[in-house]
Chains A and B, each alone.
Chain A
Amino acid sequence: MAIIKEFMTQDHRDCDDTFAAMEQKANSEGLAAAQEDYKKMASEMEHHFQMEERVLFPAFEEKTGMTQGPTQMMRMEHTQMRSLIQEIGEALDVDNKDRFFGLTETMMIMLQQHNMKEEQMLYTMIQQHMSAENDQLIMMMDAMITE
């Protein structure tokens, strides 16, 4: 089985690809055509956020007692990104191309700097503390259904 760090990093890359595919569609075929891709992107992102918020972070916090540290900051950034995803959807609905691409650019950088912190620091920390629970956590995250 994969290790947590690789598993989560791969999920980041998959989210990046879905996000880029949505932008690609919106750019080549117009905003209306990108609705499906938007929904796919929004649900993949939400799934990733929830894997962390409902499975990975609580397990890490319980083990280390660090509840106000990095996981808390990552949750705050999830909130920021959720509001961006919602705004992107609103821009799609009103067919405002400038607003849409302005927001997707912001989202992309927000997302990437967030991923970087997780991949380079938090996941490494989690790996160090949770290696015994590795397989169990991955199975739980894999089986998790987005709420």
Chain B
Amino acid sequence: MNFTGLSLDQAPPISAPVRFFLTAPIFAMLAAILIFFTDASLLSSRYSLESISVTHLFTIGFIAMVMLGALQQMLPVLAGVSIPKASLVATSSHILLSIGLVLMVVGLLQSFKVMIFIAALSLGIGFLILLIGIFLAIRKVEFLTATIRAMRWALFFSFVIVMLGMYLLSTYGTGISGSLHLEFANVHAVLAIFGFAGILIIGVTFQVIPMFYVTPAFDARYQKYLVLSVVGTLALWTLLSFVIVDYAWIAKILLVFNFGLFAALIIQKMSQRKRPIADITVYYWRLAGGMLFTGLIVWMFSPLIEQEMTSYLAVIIGGGFVMSVMIGMLYKIIPFLVWFHLNGMGYMSIPSMGEMVHKKMALVQFLLFVLTLALFVAVYFIPILMKVGAITLLTSMVLLEINLVTAYKNYGETCKRKPDFDMSMMG
């Protein structure tokens, strides 16, 4: 029995996950700046280089950063295992991903072919280092829970999308794209959203919502079958997209049904909270549930309207659902990590979690984020709103960074100040 993960000594150093968390808003800021200076018509086309750049600043720069940071932290708590050489893995992966993403965006927008190759390599290795680390850790888990099973599936899909992503990106370097380029790109996108992000969020939600908000547990049947059902549907969808494209809508409806059920479960659980305190994270969860629901409906009916819906879906599902969950979690995870590490070192007089995040600032940040989503959706009717949305997004992300850094600063300051020094000596 490997029980090392239960000890604080074995938990990754606080810097390992936090470096990922604090980088995420910065890439979202870069995305906002890029949106501001890009013509709205270029961003409404799904395969323009500008769209691809903006999308990946969000998906790799924000979403993947937060998820990978959170996974490093959660494995010891949820599964009693930790990533081998946690610090080295975190540092090297973080640097490669950050550099790779910047090179990718610059390379694509300026058509620097060599830079695109280096970016593909750097991103690929950056992801693989961490994914292999997580894989090695998860292999040792003895008691499989629904969450761990979900993590394993998410890990499987992440390998697939990283490989596809490296291939797709390098075709922009060679200038040679195969006849199946768009199909591969579509599979890459759908597996990334539903296979990696979607399944990971479902799995983690099963644990985190009952834990943070004291709700009844999720029904055992959902815990057991929802992820499997998503996996089966994604396999069917992938197959249909290559073989009988005309029937891909069947898988799409199944996927909408699966995630629609999940959205309904989130909303239901949030109303069954036994903890009365509706903090900012509760707002974020509700927003996420509502946006996922809306996004699915739009996605289902989008063929009836027109093709241009893809960018709005990205806003509603990528921003409204996925990013909302991430931001909500960041507001809980960082203060808790600071508290947990300080307390574990023996410090007793430290601020509580609630005192680390400035409530009004967090609320303003949330409202700006909601406003951004609304503005980006409204671009459909009034294109100029894109610029306004870019500004509110930028402001919201700057505020998010300030809020998170403020919370994290408690760690360094307390270590430096050494209150109740005698206690820390005992710890």
Interface positions of A (Cβ within 8 A of B): 16-17, 19-21, 23-24, 27-28, 69-70, 73-74, 80, 83, 87, 98-99, 101-106, 108-110, 112-113, 116-117, 120-122, 124-125
Contacts and interface: CB of A to CB of B under 8 A. Distances in A.
A69 B3 contact: yes
Given A20-B214, A70-B3, A102 B332 contact: no
A24 B78 contact: no
A109 B275 contact: no
21 contacts: A20-B276, A24-B274, A24-B275, A27-B276, A27-B277, A70-B3, A73-B3, A73-B6, A102-B354, A105-B352, A105-B354, A106-B336, A106-B354, A109-B212, A112-B212, A117-B80, A120-B145, A121-B80, A121-B142, A121-B143, A122-B6
Contacts of B79: 120
B352 A102 contact: yes
B48 interface: no
Given A103-B352, A116-B207, A109 B332 contact: yes
Nearest to B216: A13
Contact of A106 (B1, B6, B277, B352): B352
B92 interface: no
A142 to B, nearest CB: 24
B77 A117 contact: yes
Contacts of B3: 69-70, 73, 121
Max chain A Cβ within 10 angstroms of own Cβ: one of B207, B335, B355: B355
Contacts of B352: 87, 99, 102-103, 105-106
Contact of B211 (A73, A104, A109): A109
B383 interface: no
B211 A113 contact: yes
B85 to A, nearest CB: 22
B285 to A, nearest CB: 15
Nearest to B80: A121
B6 A117 contact: yes
Contacts of A125: 1
Contacts of B6: 70, 73-74, 117, 121-122
Nearest to B9: A73
B351 interface: yes
Given A102-B354, A116-B207, A23 B77 contact: no
A57 to B, nearest CB: 14
B340 A110 contact: yes
A20 B215 CA distance: 10
Contacts of A80: 343-344
Given A24-B276, A108-B275, A120 B78 contact: yes
Interface string B242-284: 0000000000000000000000000000000011110100000
A109 B353 contact: yes
Contacts of B77: 113, 116-117
A1 B211 CA distance: 28
B339 interface: yes
Contacts of A116: 77-78, 207, 211
A99 to B, nearest CB: 7
Q: Which 3 A-B pairs have the closest CB atoms?
A: A102-B354, A102-B352, A20-B274
Given A24-B274, A73-B7, A102-B351, 20 more contacts: A20-B214, A20-B276, A21-B274, A27-B276, A27-B277, A73-B6, A73-B8, A80-B344, A98-B354, A101-B354, A102-B353, A103-B354, A104-B277, A105-B354, A108-B212, A109-B332, A112-B212, A113-B77, A113-B211, A117-B6
Contacts of A69: 3
